Chains A and B, each alone.
Chain A
Amino acid sequence: MFSFVTRFLVCFGLCLSALSPVHAQQIDAPVQQILQAHGEVIKKSSRRTIGPAIDALAASGLTDAQVVLQRWQDKEMWFDRETGIFVFGMAADGGQLSVFEVAGGAPIGVFDKKQFKQLKPNSGIRGLIASALVQFQLNDPDPDVRETAISSIERDPDVSHLQALRRSIESEIDPALTARKSRLERLLTIRFGSSDAKRIEAIESFDGDLGVDLRAALNPLVSTRIEAAAELPEGALALEVGSDDLSVDAAYDILIAAELAPPRVSSDGLRDTLVANIDNGTVAGIEVASLDADEARFSAYAALAEAGLAQPLVTDATITETLQKFQFYEVFTGAPVSVAQAAQVALDDIETRVALSQTADLALDGLSLASIYFLAAIGLAITFGVMGVINMAHGEFIMMGAYTGYVVQLFVPDYTLSIVVAIPLAFAVTFGAGVAMERLVIRWLYHRPLETLLATFGVSIALQQLAKNIFGTQARPLTAPGWLDGSWVINDIISISYIRIAIFILALLFLALFLFVMNRTRLGLEVRAVTQNPRMAASMGINPDKINMLTFGFGSGIAGIAGVAIGLYAKVTSEMGSDYIVQSFMTVVVGGVGNIWGTLLGATMVGFLQKSIEWMNPSNTLAAQTYMILFIILFIQFRPRGIIALKGRAAEA
């Protein structure tokens, strides 16, 4: 009936203006009819009255309605000044306007802009339109659009979304999206639910959930404010002034804010008042020159206050006196008490679970740091632990391995392939470097550990500078293959990046390799023989020189592979070796020299320790390292030979 009348009226208008640019068939489109029905409010464009128009469009369920809302929001809706018919318009050259149909969007033609008037919805209206659009998006046949809509609500939830969301859940077919919608609906209910009971129900439905979004929804509900009054209101919990919850200063500040007490006079304010009252070299009769101490200034100020030239000084005594007149208590500001309490219970529960999860996450972090230290230290465990040779250039071998990886990536663009090539190549390069160093330097210094330490320092300094000269001082990238990107997420708190998992696995592989080589191969047998008694081994036909050379090469080679792994995880710089060398030595020493299990335990201890200290003081990793080193120094007091103490030549070195 209504639409009939409208149509009639519009037809009538059209007939009157035959010259009007818009064709008659426009009027029949259902969306145009809805627009015409609410034509007045739409043209009036007021946030207060526009509601029914948008609702009608949204409720129509028309595809065209969605387009209309969108373009209206984008300020692309115009109407014919004469006929009042709504069209889409795009500015064209020379003050012209390209006009399109609101139903279907077919072009109508280019006309003079003056014949049309643009709808300019203000931000309030645009917000309403956006909410209405959400409903269309939530029901869009394309799941991607639906997901985008859900994400946008998650980002910026609003009470207006709640109805649309609820409506869209039933028709949702994708189970994953249904779950997300339902979760979002409950989150929105917590925030905007119509009754306290529903909100509490929604809160309780999240039992066991740790989501950040849930905490974001709950936290505002439990916000409190401390208030002061002469009498404690019924049921409010009094706070003691001077306790941890409420310091004397904070309590007085509350009184000042509530204008229940005069503000304190700051030392700056006091000074300004004195300055303002300087009169002929004196303040209240006191010489300015003598006002170089707080006591003198206080007494001058008191004199001013006495004379009524300044407000009285608020002293500690007056503060105490004032505070005694008031009671302080907390009130919930975010939600009604029952909801707030339910939220508090839920939050407490979450906090406990979060603490557990954080511990688990910390353990994972510690484990991954431990595997990095283990990787860095295992080569050292061989050269220092097995042979008793201290190699201060070990860190530079790690660096060499990392740079090998970097150079390989320059030639082999495929990241997976380049890593596959880089690992054996890094081993080869550092093996060669290790053998060369053993031949040229270390062989001459066996049994002179301090000399070895110094000579390898020299090598370390030279190698570091050499790397600087070749590769420059800036960090070089060593990119991990794509399949190592991202992380394994267990819940909102526990997650670990794949690259760390890979490093952990690599550490395990190295451990297995070491055990295999040392215990199951001829080389290992000979190494152990040479370690225990070189002369005896020599008399049995083992060439100790060769074995020492190979062992040193093996240890250095492993450092090279570790370098590739560390390079993937951290940055490749000429100083990366020195970043790890002290920790590596600590790992070996703490674990107990000459025993791979000791190194493993040492790495675990150092890794977990560092993570725990960082957790206690998360802002400051430098301090964490400081405290860890101090702890290790103390630890060595109690177990000078490390966790697993060995007797023998290596332990005596």
Chain B
Amino acid sequence: MVDLSLSATRRPLVTRYPSLLIFLGVLALFTVSVTILSEGFGIGVISTSFVKTLGKTLCLCLVALAMDLVWGYCGILSLGHMAFFGIGGYAIGMWLMYARTEIIVRESLAAAPLPPTPQEISDGIAAQIFGVVGASEFPPIWAVAHSLPLQLAAVVLVPGCIALVFGWLAFRSRVTGVYLSILTQAMTLALALYLFQNDSGLRGNNGLSGLQNLPHLDHVSQSTISIVFFWASALALGLGYVLCTWVISGKFGSVIRAIRDDEARVRFLGYSVEAYKLVIFTFTAVLAGIAGALYYPQAGIINPAEIAPIASIYLAVWVAIGGRGRLYGAVIGAAFVSLLSTWFTGGQAPDIDLGFYTVNWVDWWTVLLGLSFVIVTLFAPRGIGGLFDLISERRSPERHGADLGPEPGALQEREADR
């Protein structure tokens, strides 16, 4: 028995988590197939816009992975991760917009009799970018927008720092459960409302646009760029998956799952629950930021509506439908639901004629999604991922509802302790 347990924990990550290998295999296969079928590098069966959709979906899978880690494993139902996703998008979008506008401004000033001074170029860029909100000067947050490395650092640092500060405040005052969810939702709302203002320095509700046009790469066609971004997204998702698996595999994973199930008990074991939550919250915020930075150049436009709380709620919906508490569940959920949403809301789904009423899916898809979410929560808390348990019966462990929060008994005990 002792030897068995020893070998059980000493084996490499991949063999301990066979799903990791399967996942990476499927992802690789998918990437290769899409490349072959694409317009940029293959036979052109898949349109460039659909390659972009698939690339964006991979980014959504990555943020869903982050959500699963923070919610499914650590029990923090964050309604703020799409905000971090959006911040990542804004961070990269600022550089994209700055650099592209700089090229345009330089070209237009090249015709002038005198060579332009740096100040003239900067003024020209500012007038171009902020004319739409009636400003013509760079706000302080654009201070490093000219530098790709610094904005890339911002993709990681800004969501990370916001998560660190917010998490530190929230966790140290022992805000948990639904309170924490509402607080994260409030944070998201505050951020979205802030960005909606014209003097937020990020062009108000116009957002940042034209992000699909990469500076200095005008000669490269969108079909090529789309496939490169698709690869980058797939790579990020693969790396993210490995990293998340590594995080949850060892004792750390054991601790965070224990925090999810009974954080008071973990505290009495000597673990600083707040520190662990903070690490997970910040790490996943960074992951979300990276996903956003890959997503928005493919989407082409970002505006504050993308950050609104409803986006984070949808993220929770994806993870719940996919099956939380298992990483592949989150990925499946995000891919399945977001692609289905695209299909339904894109008007491709056939309308259903009921005789007295025609169900138009563009209108009714959201209703269906909401209701199916209720049904999944009620009747299939394991989500789509639960189907895998049915298929591989031998790997189906008895689950004691632990990933659904503490059982009623545990709750009442804490009252008894009081």
Contacts and interface: CB of A to CB of B under 8 A. Distances in A.
> Do the two chains touch directly in the complex (Cβ atoms below 8 Å apart)?
yes
Contacts of A303: none
Interface in B394-417: 404-405, 408, 411, 414-415
Given A293-B118, A451-B404, A465-B370, A653 B178 contact: yes
B115 A455 contact: no
A293 B117 contact: yes
Given A450-B177, A454-B377, A640-B174, A630 B190 contact: yes
Interface string A430-456: 000000000001001101111111110
A640 B178 contact: no
B391 to A, nearest CB: 25
A259 interface: no
Contact of B169 (A445, A465, A637, A653): A637
Nearest to A293: B117
Residue among A441, A468, A589, A633 facing the most chain B CB atoms (10 A cut-off):
A633
A155 interface: no
A458 interface: yes
Interface stretch (B16-24, B48-56, B59-67, B193-201): B193-201
Contacts of B179: 589, 636, 640
B317 A462 contact: no
Contacts of B411: 447, 652
A458 B317 contact: yes
B240 interface: no
A468 B313 contact: no
A294 B116 CA distance: 9
B15 to A, nearest CB: 33
Given A289-B115, A444-B378, A454 B373 contact: yes
Contact of A448 (B175, B183, B373, B405): B405
Interface string B167-188: 0011011110111011101110
Contacts of A278: 113
B374 A620 contact: no
A571 interface: no
Interface stretch (A174-182, A488-496, A621-629): A621-629
Contact of B371 (A458, A622, A648): A458
Interface size class for chain A? 35 or more
A461 interface: yes
A449 B377 CA distance: 12
Contact of B197 (A452, A623, A638): A623
Given A455-B374, A622-B194, A462 B367 contact: yes
A113 B174 CA distance: 95
B364 A469 contact: yes
A367 B367 CA distance: 37
Residue among A449, A450, A455, A647 facing the most chain B CB atoms (10 A cut-off):
A450
Given A441-B378, A458-B377, A622-B197, A449 B186 contact: no
B348 interface: no
A292 B120 CA distance: 9
A586 interface: yes
A291 interface: yes
A449 B404 CA distance: 10
A457 interface: yes
A274 B183 CA distance: 59
A396 B98 CA distance: 41
A283 to B, nearest CB: 8
Contacts of A289: 115
Contact of B313 (A452, A461, A463, A634): A461
A605 to B, nearest CB: 15
Contacts of A297: 114, 117
Contacts of A7: none
A273 to B, nearest CB: 11
A423 to B, nearest CB: 28
Given A288-B114, A451-B404, A629-B189, A582 B309 contact: yes
A514 interface: no
Contact of A454 (B182, B197, B316, B369): B316
A451 B381 contact: yes
B189 A461 contact: no
Contacts of A271: 114
A275 B113 CA distance: 6
Contacts of B120: 267
Contacts of B389: none
Nearest to B168: A637
B193 A460 contact: no
A455 B377 contact: yes
A292 B190 contact: no
B161 to A, nearest CB: 15
Contacts of A267: 119-120
A622 to B, nearest CB: 5
A480 interface: no
B173 A637 contact: yes
Contact of A633 (B116, B169, B193, B199): B169
Residue among A449, A452, A458, A460 facing the most chain B CB atoms (10 A cut-off):
A458
A632 B186 contact: yes
A450 B117 contact: no
Nearest to B181: A453
B319 to A, nearest CB: 10
A636 B173 contact: yes
A582 B115 contact: no
A267 B117 CA distance: 11
A60 to B, nearest CB: 59
B320 A292 contact: no
A457 B313 contact: yes
Nearest to A390: B178
Contacts of A632: 186
A290 B374 CA distance: 69
A37 interface: no
A183 interface: no
Nearest to A300: B114
Contacts of B114: 271, 274-275, 288, 291-292, 297
B351 interface: no
Contacts of A640: 173-175, 179
Given A458-B317, A636-B175, A445 B377 contact: yes
B187 A633 contact: yes
A578 interface: yes
A449 B175 contact: no
Given A625-B193, A640-B174, A649 B115 contact: no
Interface string B218-243: 00000000000000000000000000
Contact of B405 (A294, A390, A449, A459): A449
Contacts of A292: 114-118
Interface string B357-386: 000000110111111111001100100000
Contacts of A294: 117, 119
Contact of B363 (A451, A465, A585, A586): A465
A622 B204 CA distance: 11
A441 to B, nearest CB: 6
A316 to B, nearest CB: 17
B374 A448 contact: no
Given A622-B194, A652-B415, 12 more contacts: A289-B115, A292-B114, A294-B117, A459-B370, A461-B367, A465-B370, A466-B367, A582-B186, A633-B166, A640-B173, A648-B415, A653-B178
Interface of B: 75, 77, 113-120, 166, 169-170, 172-175, 177-179, 181-183, 185-187, 189-191, 193-194, 196-197, 199, 309-310, 313, 316-317, 320, 363-364, 366-374, 377-378, 381, 404-405, 408, 411, 414-415, 418
- Top-4 shortest CB links A-B: A462-B370, A458-B373, A461-B370, A465-B366
14 contacts: A292-B115, A292-B118, A447-B408, A450-B77, A454-B373, A457-B313, A458-B372, A461-B313, A465-B364, A582-B189, A622-B193, A622-B197, A629-B193, A640-B175
Interface of A: 267, 271, 274-275, 278, 288-294, 297, 390, 441, 444-445, 447-455, 457-466, 468-469, 578, 582, 585-586, 589, 620, 622-623, 625-626, 629-630, 632-634, 636-638, 640, 647-649, 652-653
